[in-house]
Amino acid sequence: MSGTIVYERVRESLEKLRMEAALNELDDVLQRGAKEERSSIEVLDQLLERELSFRFERRVRTNFKLSGLPVIKRLDEFDYEAQPQVPKRTMEELATLRFLHNGENVLFLGPCGVGKTHLAIGLAVRAIEEGHRVYFSSLHDLVAKMASARERHRLDRFMYAIHRADLWVLDELGFLPLSAEDATFVFESVNKRYQSKKSTIITSNKTFTGWSDIFPDPVLATALLDRLLHHAVTVNIRGESYRLRNRREAGIPIQEN
Ligand code: ADP
Ligand code: MG
């Protein structure tokens, strides 16, 4: 059979298999293979490698888009000297994402401005870059989405969207008290993830004892904490707000709003 016919059939097959990158790079891989006198298995290996890395990058891009992250913050942008309460070692361990593979939770607790959201987003970005699916929601967003999902009788579907993520970040728990039905939804989401050994990161300005104020039912708050803390790393940050500290050090008078 003529080489041209085989070549055309390979192109067609790659197209049918939707191997976009392999199709685009076929000529390049073949030419390099011939030039470097590679074996056919090496040429095949390289072609598949290019398709896989293209797909991985595309997945990462899509996961970034679907994650709901409000901004991109990186762990290496975090100034540990400015916030000595944040244990750098613990953060480095968390950055390996072993917690995610083990289904452990991470809780960042502390007052406003100490970097809780920054650290949570930093871990989320690491997870996405490693190919994981992340769902980020501030409590405020979550409450709005629960209301809209409830109205459309889509609450189950919304819970599934949360459950499906490899990592769920719930930011700012404690900033507003929850209604009974919203609290139940949050509890069920956490519980479902707990049962499937999926990680959740929560940031809160309230200490654990203060969680009974967020949840209308203290039994629910206790049950939630029980699930969350079973396998968890807690980072307590009691320091000063990063921005206020910067302003103070620059000699700008501080006005709390
Ligand atoms: P919190 O969620 O605890 O209220 P944020 O994470 O939103 O605080 O931090 C407020 C702002 O200050 C963000 O822009 C964040 O990137 C920045 N920030 C806070 N702490 C640090 C730090 N130690 N190093 C660098 N940036 C920080
Ligand atoms: Mg925050």
Quick one: CA dihedral 257, 183, 207, 227, positive or negative? negative
Ligand 1 neighbour 79 (Cβ under 6 A): yes
Quick one: CA dihedral 71, 80, 257, 107, positive or negative? positive
The per-residue pLDDT for 1 is 64
The per-residue pLDDT for 241 is 82
The per-residue pLDDT for 254 is 54
DSSP 76: G
Going by CA atoms, what residue is nearest to atom 10 of ligand 1?
113
The per-residue pLDDT for 195 is 96
The per-residue pLDDT for 256 is 45
pLDDT tens by residue, 46-58: 999 999 999 999 9
Distance 135 CA to ligand 1 centre (A): 20
Ligand 1, atom nearest to 172 Cα: 2
| Rg, Å, the chain Cα set | 24
The per-residue pLDDT for 52 is 98
The per-residue pLDDT for 257 is 42
The per-residue pLDDT for 249 is 72
The per-residue pLDDT for 175 is 86
Helix (H) or strand (E) holding 134: strand 134-138
What dihedral angle (degrees, nearest 10) is formed by the CA atoms of 153, 179, 227, 132?
50
Ligand 1 neighbour 87 (Cβ under 6 A): no
pTM, full prediction? 0.90
Residues with CB under 5 A from ligand 2 (ion): 116-117
Going by CA atoms, what residue is nearest to atom 6 of ligand 1?
115
The per-residue pLDDT for 250 is 73
Residues of the chain with pLDDT under 70: 1, 248, 253-257
The per-residue pLDDT for 58 is 97
